[in-house]
Structure 1
Amino acid sequence: MENTTKDYSHIKGWGIDADPKNDPTYPMKNRTDAEQTGYSWDRPSLQPVNTEILRSIERPNITAVFGTSTPPSGLSGMLRRFAFKYSESSYGHWLPLLLADRVNVVEGVLDDLKNGHVPNIFAEKGMKAEWQHNRLGVIQKLAVAAVLTVGVIAYVKSRQDEDDDD
């Protein structure tokens, strides 16, 4: 196969990085072209695996460092395990992870209540600062929550009335 070089000088900005003196890191970086040869360091020892680690199906192995503070558990853990059966490029991966985060919040509140601690959701969500700096936004959120609550109650009530008529 013939190797022919093509002239791209007609493209504005082409080859702008070819001159090392035009590189913003030029005076500071010692150019050895070692970065072109691949890994120039030894891989660190792997973190011990002592809890369930969910990993992408795109990765053949576990990363050198990972979080172990909150292993997957409960319904949110089931959703996370389901999500990691799919590629990171699909909705089947990301949407269950988003849902699992929301479910995990509810699980945390229920766990607090089970342990005799009543969570201060107002403070934990930063509502004091929100009220101070975005009062209109807080009022809008409360109004939407009130309308949705009234709507759900009215719907449930109408369903009960229908059942009573039958």
Structure 2
Amino acid sequence: MEDLAKNFSHIKGWGIDADPKNDPTYPMKHRTDEEQKGYTWERPPQQPITVEVLHSNERPNVSAVFGTSAPPTGLSGQLRRYAFNYSESSFGHWIPLLLADRVNVVEGIIDDIRQGHVPNIFAEKGWGGDWKYDRKGLVQKVLIGAAITTVLFALLNRKPELKRG
């Protein structure tokens, strides 16, 4: 194997950190490797856990402070619980969380209607501003949404073909 330092020695600053005696952080950091032993600071007191709190399976404990206003519930909650069985570096973690967010929007609309409040989806999605400033974009969004809804409706309501035998 060739000596890499020789190959790239023409680059100014190449290999500056190769020599531990020439460590540019030496005057600022006294290396004791204490940070490798775990927490290097006093952990704040734990917030009381009064609702279900989902946390990464890569961490040994729950964050000291967390939100409690929207605990996981319904189908979106089940999707979130499923997602937290997987590592944060996995699609199995992030895709279900994205889907859970979309499902939670529908659950919120259903919950509003159940409580007697008809949501003004047009205003809540900012379509008033879109209509005023980006009419073409809004019409395009609505047409695409209508086309997708029509296709899904047609696929879900088609009658199975009869087999001739």
Q: 1:75 to 1:150 in 2, by over 3 A?
A: closer
Partner of 2:52: 52
Moved more, 112-121 or 48-57: 48-57
Q: Is 2:60 the counterpart of 1:64?
A: no
Unaligned runs of 5+ residues in structure 1 are 1-5, 21-30
Q: Which stretch has the larger CA shift, 83-92 or 113-122?
A: 83-92
What is the Cα deviation at residue 62 of structure 1?
0.8
1:71 is aligned with what amino acid?
P
Where does residue 97 of structure 1 map in the other structure? 97
Distance 1:91 1:159, change over 3 A: same
Change (3 A) 1:95 1:44: same
- Give the TM-score normalised by structure 1: 0.72
1:82-93 mapped onto 2 (5 Å cutoff): 82-93=82-93
Q: Tell me the TM-score normalised to structure 2 length.
A: 0.72
Q: How far apart are 1:95 and its partner, in Å?
A: 0.9
Residue 29 of structure 2: aligned partner: 33
Identity %: 53
- In structure 1, what is the equivalent of residue 117 of structure 2? 117
Q: Residues 40 and 88 from structure 1, CA distance in 2 versus in 1: closer, same or farther, beyond 3 angstroms?
A: closer
SS at match of 2:159: helix
Residue type of the partner of 2:47? Q
In the alignment, is the contact (CA less than 8 A) between 1:79 and 1:100 conserved in 2?
yes
The residue number in structure 2 matching 1:27 is none
The aligned amino acid for 2:107 is E
Q: Take 1:89 and 1:155, find their aligned partners in 2: how far apart are those partners?
A: 34
8 Å CA contact 1:34–1:40 kept in 2: the answer is no
Change (3 A) 1:158 1:99: closer
Q: What is the DSSP-based 3-state SS (H/G/I as helix, E as strand, rest coil) of the residue aligned with 1:159?
A: coil
Q: Distance in 2 between matches of 1:130 and 1:34?
A: 57
Q: Give the deviation of 1:131 after TM superposition.
A: 2.0
Aligned residues: 146
| CA RMSD after TM alignment | 3.1
Alignment of 1:133-152 (within 5 A): 133-152=133-152
Moved more, 31-40 or 59-68: 31-40
Unaligned 5+ residue runs, structure 2? 18-22
